[in-house]
A and B are shown apart, each in its own frame.
Chain A
């Protein structure tokens, strides 16, 4: 046996209702190998606690103040094992799409809870072998699981242990940087681990346009297009920032500006 198997499982409970946390505490009490390292009453606290304490397992409510459960999950990197605990059954498919270990419905029965814990143990033990290829980031999974008719109206970003929320209307442009995207809003850059393509699909296409392999721009910010070299252009934004425009991006942008 590896020494890791003897290590205690560290769990965090995230729910805005005291009584809901209490049930989970009670169910966890007989498990000597599980230690509750954090109890959080809202999304901000949860992101901070998980970043600082790196629990193995998080019990996550969905409807909470500040950030909902999915937004919290997006910001956890690397994502711990997640068990959603909620009264709403309509998020189940989305939950499994973001690789949640289980989805418990309130009121939670003890048997069902034990089954979820068993699944967590299975998942965590198997983890070492599955690491051959890097898993997609939580934000990419969340973007893929988003209902198609709904575009992001705000983007949560983690800065250290705190959370910044960027309303989509205040996002100027997005720049791809390796595995990250830099979200530029009001002159400030915020880094988030997500691919630019998955962010592109989550943003409203009538307001945001991919103008280049590495750039998405908020159309309201574009003041004009200027020729740059033969066959290439730059988009000039309201604050004089210039972004490169690819040939495909140029024709898409033209189509928009002509309308």
Chain B
């Protein structure tokens, strides 16, 4: 239990720093912003109490908000997917017994992790980008940005599973 807390604290700090110091400065072809800090929400144990997931999502979003001058929007999107996480896991998992408590790639297989990441990232980016522009007037323009950024975030998150989070 203690070790888990330390591990997730390091992950929290590491992901927020990577996001604000590195990925927020990266810009691929105009306006694609990858947001990989939600990996923290993705990787919380599946049997963690729901309040832990919700509060974890809230604080990781809030930390990114503080550093990128966007009060509230990352927190909002993160809490949103933190709430939907159990529903998504239930929807994409066939048999209960196959499931590992730790939702990593090595533990659950590539296609499971890809579905999981893709759904969570797309929902998160949709909420985030629409809250950011706060209008539906340029709906397809925003959707285009959501899809491009999602693809990039999914790619980085899956790649990170092969490089950093191998255990």
Partners in one complex: no
The residues of A with any CB-CB pair to B shorter than 8 Å are: none
